[in-house]
Amino acid sequence: MNPPSILPVRLPDPRGPAPQVPAQIVLASIAGLWLCYFVLASLRGAIVGLEFQSEVFLRRLLVALASMAVTAALWPLLRALDRQAMAVRIAAILLAALPASLVLAAINQQAFADIESKLVAKLGEKEGIRIRRDEAGNVLVDVSNMPPIPVPPAAPMPLPDGSLAVPQVPPVTAAGAVTIDSETSTETRWRQLTDVALGRYFLLLAWAALYVALVAAEEARAAERREGEYRRAAKAAELRSLRYQINPHFLFNTLNSLSALVLTGKGEAAERMIQTLSTFYRRSLADDPTGDHPLGEEIRLQQLYLEIEGVRFPERLRIVVDVPAELAEVAVPGMILQPLVENAVKYAVAPTSRTVTVTIAARAEAGQLVLTVSDDGPGTGEGRAKGLGIGLGNVRDRLRARFGDAAGLVAGPTGQGFRTELRLPLAG
C-alpha cells in the first residue's frame, strides 16, 4: 500500500498582501519627471540661444514621450521586487537602468540626427566652406579655389539634446571635396551616445528612488491601518467583556426578586415579572454589545427594568424620566445606565420602607450629553459604597474604552440622596 501523497500547502504571508502604490501615482511620477526634463531643456535652449528651436521643440517633446514609455516599462520589474530586501532592489535598479538608458540615448540621437547635421553645416558656412554628407553617410567638405589654410580647432558646440560636440573640420589643401574619415565620425557618435546615456541613467535612478520612497510610504500607511484595526479589535473586545459583565449581575438580582414573589405567594405578580423580564432580555440581547443605540431606546430598557422591580416594590419605587424629545435620537452606548439604575434600586429603594423616587434625566450642555441617575434614598452607607465601586467601575471603564478623555463620570451623595452624572460627546 502506497503512503498517501502529501500536497504542499502554501501558508499566507503573515504580513498580509503587499501594499502597492496606485497606478495613477506611479504614472504621474513618470510623467512629472520627463515633463520636468522637457521644460528645463527647452528653457536652457532658449537661454543659450540654440539654433532651430522650432524644430527642436517638437523632437524634444517626442523624446520625452518615448522616455515616459521606456520608464513605464521598468515599473513591472520594480513592482515585482517590492517585498525583496533593499539590497536586491538596489542591485536590480542599477542593472535594469543601464540598457534602458542606452535605449533612451539612442532614441535621443536618432531624433536629433538631422538637427545635428544642420548645425554642423551652418558652422561650416561661417568658416567659408560647405559641409554635406554623401549617400554613404560620409561628411564632405566642399571648397572652391581657396589657398591651403590651417583651420583652427572648432570650439565645442552644444547640441539640442544637452551634449557637446566638437566638429571635426579637416585642413583644406585644395579646391574640391574633402572627405572626413567615417571612423572618426562613428567614434564621435558613440561618445555622444555615452554622454547622453549617462544623463538618462541618472534620471532613471532618480525616478527609481522616488518609486522606492512611494512604496515605503504605502507600507507605512498599511502598517498604520493594521495597527488601527488591532486597536479597534482590542477596544471592541474590551467593550464586549464589560457589557457582558452587566447581564449576570442583573439576572441574579431579578431572579432573587422573582424568587421572593413566588415564596410569598404572589403568583400573578411573578408571572407579570417573567413576561417583562422576557421582553427586557429580548431587546437588550439583540443589540451589538460594542455598538450604540438611541437614547430613547436606552430609556425604554431602563423603564422595563424598573417595571420588573416595581412588581417587587409596588409601594416604595417611584420613577421619574426627564428626557427632552430632541435628545431621543442621540446615540449612547447600549445599557450604559443599567448599573446605575440597579444600584439606585438596590441601595436606595430596597433598604427603606418609604417611597423613594428614582430619576433619570438628560440634557445637552456645552456640546456634551449629560445623563444623570439620582434618588432621594440613603446617600451613604458601607454596602452602597462597595456596590457602587463595582457598578461605577464598569461604567467608567466602558466610557474610557469608547470615548477616552472625552467622557467622564462623577458620583456622590447630595445630602438628600445619591446622584451619578455621566458626560459624553453629544455626537457620540
CATH of the domain at 335: 3.30.565.10
Ordered alpha helix ranges (H), 161-266: 182-263
The pLDDT value given to residue 334: 80
Last residue of a domain, one of 152, 184, 216: 184
Is residue 168 domain-shared with residue 200, that is, in the same domain?
no
Same domain, 31 and 175: no
Q: Is residue 56 part of a domain?
A: yes
Mean pLDDT to the nearest integer, 342-350:
87
* Helix H or strand E segment including 332: strand 331-333
Same domain assignment for residues 331 and 298: yes
Mean pLDDT (whole number) for 305-312: 81
Instruction: Report if residue 320 sits inside a domain.
Output: yes
pLDDT value of position 243: 55
Strand partners, 164: 158
315: pLDDT confidence band, cut at 50, 70 and 90? confident
Say whether both 196 and 76 belong to one domain.
yes
- Among 93-107, 300-314, 332-346, top mean pLDDT goes to 93-107
Give the containing element (helix H, strand E) for 294. Answer: strand 292-294
What integer pLDDT is reported at residue 428 of this predicted model? 47
Instruction: Specify if 253 maps to a domain.
Output: no
Query: Residue 350: is its pLDDT beyond 80?
Result: yes
Mean per-residue pLDDT for 45-73?
82
If asked whether residues 133 and 281 sit together in one domain, one would say no
Q: Judge whether residue 410 has pLDDT over 80.
A: yes
- Among candidates 339, 334, 335, which has minimal Cα distance to 394? 339
Residue 382 pLDDT greater than 80, yes or no: no
416 lies in the same domain as 309 = yes
Any domain includes 162: yes
Using CA atoms, how far apart are residues 424 and 406, in angstroms rounded to an integer? Answer: 6
Give a yes or no: residue 298 inside a domain: yes
Rounded Cα gap, residues 41 and 326, in angstroms? 66
Last residue of a domain, one of 167, 184, 201: 184
**Mean local confidence (pLDDT), 251-260:** 76
pLDDT tens for 320-333 read 999 999 999 999 98
Per the structure, how many domains does the chain have?
A: 3
Q: What is the average pLDDT across 127-141? A: 50
The domain boundary, picked from 166, 184, 202, lies at 184
Domain annotation covers residue 237: no
Mean pLDDT of the chain: 76
Same domain, 169 and 289: no
Nearest by Cα to 374 from 346, 327, 412, 425 = 412
Question: Which has more confidence, 316 or 258?
Answer: 316
pLDDT digits (tens, 9 = 90+) for 138-160: 555 555 544 554 555 555 555 55
Q: Tell me, yes or no, whether 341 lies in a domain.
A: yes
Q: Of all residues in the chain, what percent carry a pLDDT higher than 90?
A: 21
Closest to 337 in 3D by CA, of 370, 380, 312: 370
- Highest-confidence range of 155-159, 270-274, 297-301, by mean pLDDT? 297-301
Q: Is residue 293 part of a domain?
A: yes
Distance CA 383, CA 380 (A): 9
Instruction: Check whether residue 411 and residue 324 sit in a common domain.
Output: yes
Reported as a pLDDT band with limits 50, 70 and 90, residue 42 is confident
More confident: 279 or 158:
279
Q: Which domain holds residue 325?
A: 264-425
pLDDT over threshold 60, residue 365: yes
Long-range (24+ apart) CB contacts under 8 A made by 283-290 are 284/247, 284/334, 284/335, 285/247, 287/334, 287/335, 288/334, 289/239, 289/240, 289/243, 289/244, 289/334, 290/235, 290/236, 290/239, 290/240, 290/243
Task: Based on the fold, state whether residues 290 and 388 are members of the same structural domain.
Answer: yes
Residue with cell 461604567: 395
Per-residue pLDDT, averaged over 376-394, amounts to 66
Question: Are 361 and 402 found together in one domain?
Answer: yes
Q: Identify which of 172-181, 272-281, 386-395 has the greatest average pLDDT.
A: 272-281
pLDDT value, residue 13: 47
- Say yes or no: 218 and 300 in one domain: no
Hey, what's the cell of 192? 555622444
Q: Which triple of cell numbers denotes residue 35?
A: 515633463
pLDDT tens, residue by residue, 179-218: 444 444 567 778 888 888 898 999 999 999 999 999 888 8
What is the percentage of the chain residues whose pLDDT exceeds 70?
67
pTM passes above 0.75:
no
- Average pLDDT, integer, range 234-248: 57
DSSP 349: I
Q: Which of 135, 122, 112, 148 lies closest to 182, judged by CA?
A: 135
Which of 68-82, 172-186, 308-322, 406-420 has the least mean pLDDT? Answer: 172-186
If asked whether residues 150 and 29 sit together in one domain, one would say no
- Asked if 357 contacts 318 with a C-beta cutoff of 8 angstroms, the reply is yes
Residue 101 has a CB neighbour count (10 Å cut-off) of 22
- Output the pLDDT for position 133: 52
Whole-angstrom distance, CA of residue 219 vs CA of residue 77: 18
**Max CA-CA distance within the chain?**
142
Average pLDDT over residues 93-122: 79
SS3 content of the chain, % helix, strand, coil (to 5): 60, 15, 25
